[in-house]
């Protein structure tokens, strides 16, 4: 009997998490007048709302922009994060602890303080309305360096010494010897970075005004807020669904990695 | 001193400097410079286009007389006061349930986690429809149960709590997972010896589980406080700060000052002051929760 209640509570909770998503997808396929109903099925399903979205905003271009920006940022964060993480864990040089201290310090600075000056910097560089403003400031993150450093600290010195005797320099050691055994941390950093970059809206809203360069969440936000949707609920929900689908698809296949990555970054951050 | 440093550097792995260089460049450009520049900005009036004008402490004078800004901070605090306890209670209950021997644990965990990975924009657009007064799903359910409709986002006293409920729904999955990790780290023998002493399930929960989760609790409180102080996209999309400024969050106000009115100097001052508040609050929380 106790088991029964346990499953009952979990199922009810589960439905409150899944049902809204299903409702959103169903509503995006229904004609406008049927959206205000609880049911998930309609005889009049059509792609009309999606046609409207594609017609009004460059959503495919935005999908490309988001994929491009997030991929560049992720590759760069893994590349530079592991290089700096390696230097801070496996090399001895004067000032190393100072750099580590700086990194820890930057992690406690609330972003609210640097937001406006960062925007002005982008204006002065002439990077407003270019991909550069979306990519370059995110190319190295303190958190990725710390995660890589933590992981590299546990790698046995023998492995590195052996490679050095074989004539490897530090970069070859990092990319040939250490990278292949660091998949867990690379996946963690990759997922967190990609997701953060993909879901960020505030920064793109600030530095991108040209519709052709907008990221997908930004374009959908402006579509919903800026009146282009003309109070058409179906179109707004269709745009939201298009924005949700890529990440849900990836999540469906790699959910374990997503959850574990977010848990570790939460615990270490 | 200089000779000493030189000696040290001579003995160092010099490639270490080269490999740290990318970080140092990024730090100088995107952390140190903005930090320094914000100290200059807070004493100026500037709209980016015309030259900067020195105004001394006028920005701070204006800040302390800015009713709207304090309203925004008050709103953000209201959000936190509802959001954090709600988050902790739900996350803890579900985590404890999931920690039993049950089938489909992975499936349930994945379901609760789904809103965490989906963009806040999607969640907000979706909940805007769920909260709609006439046609929203929530009010339809209430009506069918014979209850009166709730003006979720149309009434100034309901709007912020509604956003807090939505934010809880979005984030709770992450905290469930964090609590699950915490629960699995509690040694089994604590429960076994409590059982020998005849403890009830409730006593075990209250005297063993809750105290053992202290460090997770600190983490949850701090993470959701920082998240709450950054509240922006939800009111931006759902209510635009209304009705009657009841959902105007501090970040939304700063954004409006900077990018709607073009008051860069003043917005930088607000950001500076607000960051200072966040810093103090998180510091106090850490002290208080850790002592308990």
pLDDT 10s digits, B122-165: 999 999 888 888 778 888 888 888 888 888 888 888 899 999 99
Do residue B166 and residue B236 come from a single domain?
Answer: yes
Express each pLDDT in B94-103 by its tens digit: 999 898 888 8
Do residue B171 and residue B55 come from a single domain?
Answer: no
Per the structure block, which two tokens stand in for A55?
Answer: 């017609």
Provide, as residue numbers in chain B, all residues whose Cβ is less than 8 Å from the Cβ of A107: none
Asked if residue B134 is part of any domain, the answer here is: no
> Tell me, what's the pLDDT at A140?
94
CB spacing of A243 vs B102 below 8 angstroms: no
Q: Distance between CA atoms of B265 and B83, rounded to whole angstroms? A: 32
Considering only the beta carbons, identify the residue of A13, A24, A116 that sits closest to B126: A24
**Distance from the B135 Cα atom to the nearest Cα atom in chain A, whole angstroms:** 5
Lowest mean pLDDT among A231-240, B22-31, B224-233: A231-240
Question: Which chain A residue is nearest to residue B239, measuring alpha carbons?
Answer: A225
At residue A99 the predicted structure's pLDDT band, cuts being 50, 70 and 90, is very high
CB spacing of B219 vs A9 below 8 angstroms: no
Structural domains of chain B, count: 2
User: Is residue A160 less than 8 Å (CB to CB) from chain B?
Assistant: no
Do residue B111 and residue B53 come from a single domain?
Answer: no
Please report, rounded to a whole number, the percentage of residues in chain B having pLDDT higher than 70. Answer: 99
- Spatial contact of A199 and B233, defined as CB atoms under 8 Å apart: no
At residue A102 the predicted structure's pLDDT band, cuts being 50, 70 and 90, is very high
**What mean pLDDT value characterizes chain A?**
88
Mutate to test the interface with A, among B30, B179, B279 (most CBs of A within 10 A): B30
Do residue B22 and residue B55 come from a single domain?
Answer: yes
CB spacing of A109 vs B275 below 8 angstroms: yes
> Tell me, what's the pLDDT at A85?
94
Asked if residue B256 is part of any domain, the answer here is: yes
Among the candidates B22, B43, B59, a domain finishes at B59
**What mean pLDDT value characterizes chain B?**
87
Do residue B45 and residue B167 come from a single domain?
Answer: no
Q: Which residues of B172-185 are buried (b: 16+ CB within 10 A; e: fewer)?
A: bbbbbbbbbbbbee
Question: Which chain B residue is nearest to residue A143, measuring alpha carbons?
Answer: B23
CB spacing of A17 vs B115 below 8 angstroms: yes
At residue A32 the predicted structure's pLDDT band, cuts being 50, 70 and 90, is confident
Provide, as residue numbers in chain B, all residues whose Cβ is less than 8 Å from the Cβ of A80: 22-23, 26
Provide, as residue numbers in chain A, all residues whose Cβ is less than 8 Å from the Cβ of B39: none
Do residue B166 and residue B54 come from a single domain?
Answer: no
Express each pLDDT in A139-174 by its tens digit: 999 999 999 999 999 988 888 888 888 888 888 888
pTM of the complete model? 0.90
> Tell me, what's the pLDDT at B156?
87
Do residue B43 and residue B186 come from a single domain?
Answer: no
Asked if residue B237 is part of any domain, the answer here is: yes
Residue B250 CB partners (closer than 8 Å, separation 6+) = B69, B72, B73, B75, B76, B229, B231, B270, B274
The closest alpha carbon to A223, from A198, A240, A207, A210, belongs to: A240
At residue A230 the predicted structure's pLDDT band, cuts being 50, 70 and 90, is low
Q: Distance between CA atoms of A191 and A103, rounded to whole angstroms? A: 21
Supply the range of the domain harboring residue B25.
2-59
Provide, as residue numbers in chain B, all residues whose Cβ is less than 8 Å from the Cβ of A123: 48
Q: Which residues of B210-231 are buried (b: 16+ CB within 10 A; e: fewer)?
A: eebbeebbbbbbbbbbebbbbb
Lowest mean pLDDT among A60-64, A262-266, B187-191, B214-218: A262-266
Crossing angle of the two packed helices B120-130 and A216-225, in degrees rounded to 10: 30
Residues 78-137 of A with CB under 8 A from B: 80, 83-84, 86-88, 91-96, 99, 102-103, 106, 108-121, 123, 137
Asked if residue B194 is part of any domain, the answer here is: yes
CB spacing of B19 vs A248 below 8 angstroms: no
Considering only the beta carbons, identify the residue of A88, A123, A137 that sits closest to B48: A123
ipTM: 0.89
> Tell me, what's the pLDDT at A268?
58
Do residue B14 and residue B76 come from a single domain?
Answer: no
CB spacing of B119 vs A236 below 8 angstroms: no
Residue A267 has pLDDT above 70, yes or no: no
At residue B104 the predicted structure's pLDDT band, cuts being 50, 70 and 90, is confident
Q: Distance between CA atoms of B16 and B26, rounded to whole angstroms? A: 16
CB neighbours (10 Å) of residue A170? 21
The average pLDDT across A119-128 equals 91
CB spacing of B114 vs A18 below 8 angstroms: yes
Residue A72 CB partners (closer than 8 Å, separation 6+) = A131, A135
At residue A128 the predicted structure's pLDDT band, cuts being 50, 70 and 90, is very high
The average pLDDT across A81-88 equals 94
Q: Which residues of B120-151 are buried (b: 16+ CB within 10 A; e: fewer)?
A: bbbbbbbbbbbbbeeebbbbbeeeeeeeeebb
User: Is residue A69 less than 8 Å (CB to CB) from chain B?
Assistant: no
Provide, as residue numbers in chain B, all residues whose Cβ is less than 8 Å from the Cβ of A93: 9, 12-14, 16-17
Residue A2 has pLDDT above 80, yes or no: no
CATH number, domain of B100, equals 1.10.3720.10
Cis geometry, peptide bond prior to residue B243 (ω within 30 degrees of 0) = yes
Lowest mean pLDDT among A231-235, B42-46, B247-251: A231-235
Do residue B187 and residue B254 come from a single domain?
Answer: yes
> Tell me, what's the pLDDT at B122?
94
> Tell me, what's the pLDDT at B198?
81
A:B CB pairs within 8 Å: 246
Residue B65 CB partners (closer than 8 Å, separation 6+) = none
Do residue B186 and residue B252 come from a single domain?
Answer: yes
* CATH superfamily, with its number, for domain A58-268: MetI-like (1.10.3720.10)
Q: How do the domains of chain A map onto residue ranges?
A: 1-46, 58-268
Asked if residue B107 is part of any domain, the answer here is: yes
């Amino acid at each position: 009997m106790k088991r029964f209640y346990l499953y009952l509570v979990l199922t009810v909770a589960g439905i409150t998490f899944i049902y809204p998503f299903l409702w959103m997808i169903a509503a995006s396929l229904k004609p406008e007048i049927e959206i205000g109903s609880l049911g998930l099925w309609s005889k009049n399903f059509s792609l009309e709302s999606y046609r409207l979205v594609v017609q009004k905003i460059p959503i495919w271009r935005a999908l490309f922009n988001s994929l491009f920006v997030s991929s560049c940022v992720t590759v760069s964060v893994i590349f530079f994060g592991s290089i700096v993480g390696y230097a801070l864990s496996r090399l001895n040089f004067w000032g190393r602890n100072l750099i580590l201290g700086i990194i820890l310090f930057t992690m406690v600075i609330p972003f609210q303080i640097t937001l406006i000056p960062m925007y002005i910097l982008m204006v002065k560089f002439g990077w407003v309305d270019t991909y550069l403003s979306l990519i370059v400031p995110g190319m190295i993150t303190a958190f990725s360096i710390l995660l890589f450093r933590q992981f590299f600290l546990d790698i046995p010195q023998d492995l590195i010494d052996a490679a050095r005797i074989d004539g490897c320099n530090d970069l070859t050691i990092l990319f040939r010897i250490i990278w292949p055994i660091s998949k867990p941390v690379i996946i963690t950093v990759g997922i967190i970075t990609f997701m953060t970059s993909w879901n960020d809206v505030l920064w793109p809203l600030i530095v991108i005004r040209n519709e052709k360069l907008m990221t997908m969440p930004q374009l959908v936000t402006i579509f919903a807020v800026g009146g282009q949707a003309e109070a058409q609920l179906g179109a707004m929900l269709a745009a939201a669904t298009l924005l949700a689908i890529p990440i849900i698809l990836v999540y469906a296949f790699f959910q374990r990695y997503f959850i574990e990555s977010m848990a570790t970054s939460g615990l270490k951050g | 001193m200089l000779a000493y440093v030189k000696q040290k550097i001579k003995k160092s792995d010099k490639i270490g400097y080269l490999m740290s260089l990318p970080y140092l460049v990024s730090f100088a450009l995107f952390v140190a410079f903005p930090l320094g520049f914000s100290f200059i900005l807070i004493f100026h009036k500037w709209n980016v286009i015309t030259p900067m004008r020195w105004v001394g402490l006028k920005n701070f004078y204006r800040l302390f007389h800015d009713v709207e800004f304090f309203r925004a901070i008050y709103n953000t605090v209201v959000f936190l006061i509802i959001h954090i306890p709600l988050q902790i209670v739900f996350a803890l209950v579900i985590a404890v349930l999931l920690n039993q021997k049950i089938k489909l644990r992975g499936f349930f965990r994945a379901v609760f986690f789904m809103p965490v990975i989906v963009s806040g924009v999607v969640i907000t657009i979706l909940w805007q429809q769920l909260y709609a007064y006439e046609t929203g799903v929530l009010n339809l359910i209430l009506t069918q149960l014979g209850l009166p409709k709730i003006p979720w986002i149309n009434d100034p006293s309901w709007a912020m709590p509604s956003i807090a409920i939505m934010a809880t729904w979005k984030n709770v999955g992450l905290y469930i997972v964090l609590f699950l990790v915490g629960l699995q780290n509690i040694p089994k023998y604590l429960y076994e010896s409590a059982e020998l002493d005849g403890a009830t399930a409730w006593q075990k929960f209250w005297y063993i589980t809750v105290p053992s989760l202290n460090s997770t609790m600190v983490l949850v409180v701090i993470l959701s406080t920082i998240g709450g102080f950054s509240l922006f996209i939800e009111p931006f999309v759902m209510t635009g700060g209304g009705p009657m400024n009841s959902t105007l969050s501090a970040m939304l106000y700063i954004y409006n000052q900077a990018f709607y009115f073009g008051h860069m100097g003043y917005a930088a001052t607000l950001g500076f002051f607000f960051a200072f508040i966040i810093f103090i609050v998180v510091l106090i929380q850490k002290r208080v929760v850790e002592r308990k």
